[in-house]
Amino acid sequence: MRKIRNLLSLLNFKISHIFREGNVCANWLANKGAQLADYEEIDILNLDTSFRGMISVDKAALPHIRHG
């Protein structure tokens, strides 16, 4: 930890927290990866319907509405 802190002191950076709702695409991919037992490529031509919707909302710069 000391070495890491020393290296970080040499850099100009900012650490911030983003809630899951702030980046639903990254959250979906992280959850998908956590469930995999093996390597899997994501085929952009055959995306999961819900993930495709998240990408569309993200591209349109619309906010994610949390429900449930």
CA 17 to chain centre: 12
CB atoms within 10 A of CB 55: 15
| Torsion angle defined by CA atoms of residues 52, 56, 59 and 62, in that order, rounded to the nearest 10 degrees | -130
- pLDDT at residue 34 tops 80: yes
- pLDDT at residue 68 tops 70: no
- pTM equals 0.65
The sign of the CA dihedral 42, 44, 50, 52 is positive
- pLDDT at residue 66 tops 90: no
- pLDDT at residue 65 tops 80: no
End-to-end CA distance of the chain: 39
| Torsion angle defined by CA atoms of residues 24, 30, 36 and 37, in that order, rounded to the nearest 10 degrees | -170
Residue with more model confidence, 67 or 10: 10
Lowest-pLDDT range of 18-22, 32-36, 63-67 = 63-67
